[in-house]
Amino acid sequence: MQIQIQDRAEVSLRSLRKPEQTKITRTLNELAATLHTNAKLRRLASKFPFKKMYTYEVDQNLSLIISAEGDTYILEDIMDSDRLNYLIPTLQE
């Protein structure tokens, strides 16, 4: 299974340091193979019933925001984990 990368996520990826870019790329490759069974993938409540939103913690500093529509998975953004934790109540309303 492939994960498409949204423009916003591509910009975030390029703005990271090289070791972080490598870690994200490796994580995406591993995640693509285990999307349906990965226990670290957490579902977020979404206002759009047709679009499922997930978070995936890469490490204690970075998290991925992934959406799913049918069999299509999209990396929406790469966020600092602290910022994501601040925004989660907003995302779950």
Average pLDDT over residues 49-67: 86
**CATH code assigned to 3-91:** 3.30.2310.20
Strands (E), the chain: 3-5, 41-44, 52-57, 62-69, 72-80
pTM for the model: 0.81
Residue 93 above 70 pLDDT?
no
> Looking at residue 89, what is its pLDDT?
56
Confidence of residue 74 (pLDDT cuts 50, 70, 90): very high
Residue type, position 81, single letter? S
Q: Give 78: exposed, middle or buried? Use CB within 10 Å, 0-12, 13-18, 19+.
A: buried
